[in-house]
Structure 1
Amino acid sequence: MKRLASALLAGALIFGGSTAIAAPVQASPVVQVMAAKTVKTAVTSHPKSLTAVQGSTVKFSVSARGTSLKYQWYKKAPGAKAWSKVSRATSRTLSLSKVSTTASKTQYRVLVTGRAGKVYSKAATLTVRKAYKPTITALSTYSTITGKPRAITITGTHFHDVSRVYVDGIAVGFKKTGTTKLSITVPASWLEEKVWITVASATGKSSKAFTYFTPLSSGDRADYLFDLDWMQRNMGAPQAPVKAAYDAAVKYIKSSGAHEEAAYKQYLIASNAIDYTYLIKEADAASVEYGEMKVEHEKALRSGDTAAAEFFKGLMEDWTWIRDTCKEDAAKALGNIRALGGKIG
């Protein structure tokens, strides 16, 4: 039998004259089942303490290794004896929005649980301070020449949380030095104009004016001074109450730092001061002439000279019109001086 079995396994059998070929017997494959490796639960990076501004959002995070990790955050308020769960805080990151100063000094930690144990992270402390509204108190310079950028320093208080600086509504880069100084570069402008420099935080903003100017040319300065000198020689020097405005205007025009647009305004102040003084003198002279014509008119009436009386009456009316017109124009000149910023008194 053993010999027959060997023949069947090894070779051919003949059945009714046909030959059958037996396939070789193959061994079943060996399947190896490897047990999954379980990594011990451990915290690799602990949450870090944070300082935040009232009303802002903060995030604590943890890094850990292990198998099938789960997270649960806990907190302990100042003065509390026990830790309490943070609701719906089951990821590796804890996000807290609109934090309040009442939450300041609260501690946070996370419990990391895995197949190979559980472990708490170190505690991190949240410090919340009040938000500060910034205030500008000064600019290192309030102006720059048109066509040129200008580096300036903004001085103020409560710059802790400044997040944006604007020049007339356009955001510019800035550098913060402590909580009282900011450095910016004001971009160039080709126009003589006043713009506003604004610092802003989440809690408020503050602004100061800044001016672009064109220096007064030597030719324009000479023209202004020549005109004013000619007016004085022909119309008289300004007197009170406009003399101070005139003197200040001329002093500015003569100064080396005079701006083109500002100098023109000062020229108008000075010329209006001369006009005012001249018109007041003309009004006074017209009053004197009126008085003289009135005397002659009365003489003519007493003498019965009707024609002469009518003649002097007409002259009285003329001088009245001249006097009143001069006074009206003088008042306009005074108003112009005030409108342009000149001092009256």
Structure 2
Amino acid sequence: MSDAFVQVRDLTVQFPIAGRMIRAVQGLSYDVDLGRTLAIVGESGSGKSVSSLALLGLHDRRRSVITGSISIGGREFVGMPEAKLRHHRGNTAAMIFQDARASLHPYLTVGYQIAEAYRLHHRTTRRAARAHAVDMLGRVGIPHPARRADDYPHEFSGGMCQRVMIAMALVNDPKLLIADEPTTALDVTVQAQILGLIAGLRDEFGSAVILITHDLGVVTDVCDDVLVMYAGRGVEHGPVRSVLGSPTHPYTWGLLESLPSLSGPAGGRLHPIPGAPPDPLEPLPGCPFHARCEFRDRVADGRCRTHLPDLAVRTGDDAHRSRCHLAVPDAVFAAEIAPRLL
């Protein structure tokens, strides 16, 4: 039995629409330890954000069906009453949303918004809460925090707004921080600063971090483990060095091939993944990636089309698992995919 701080087991998130169910997340399981960062990667619509919103109970219970188990710090979050969820949301676990400027209230100063998040979980005076908010603004690198606390979100740049969101998320010292595309629409210099800030605060607070991103370069730089999602399922999971260095699922190969290469020929074309993800209203039998996989015909009896592969060890690394029927995917990667990446 795992003793990880975050334990997700067989998580399924469904949305009923016109008498049918959209299966946005299916059978998802993973762990995150304190002091470590898990990256969740995949195409838009793969279930990254939906699964992470479920961790904080942010889906409307009247319009969603969530099953499985989400244990954070030994507490079961699936089925937890809303009043208890509000206590743990922002206190035990917090989230940095994708569009910081849209997530901040335009009519309230940033200092007020951070102090309000603090006062929700602590019995304290307005003055003490403001002092704490100013301190957090300073810790996330906002210059002249005492003065800037009285400014409104429109007076901050995109990168500064993201820093404000990080300060708000960390104001109650949560042990789980979920960052949903925290560097979207930021230039590369600011991206590096934000990612370095999150990593530094993770070490300072001893938190577990879940980073949702499309950028595999970010994953390599700041994450310890990576979960690759496709069509609502985890298809590959393990340490970053193992998963990105010796991937064993054709979808992960496709993601890597979609990246530009510094060593490739000038003007060379990228290798996009053909086709489109399956319709969540019409789930296909077998491997969800089989319709787009160039290696499906190498599996006997057409099992890719009829049987869902187990998430199992495919290499010598017991911590590295993938969901594929290929007998020796690491050999296929080394012989056919790796040369394309050079």
Shorter-chain TM-score: which interval?
Answer: under 0.3
Q: TM-score, normalised by structure 2?
A: 0.20
Q: Which has the higher contact order (CA 8 A, sep 6+)?
A: 2
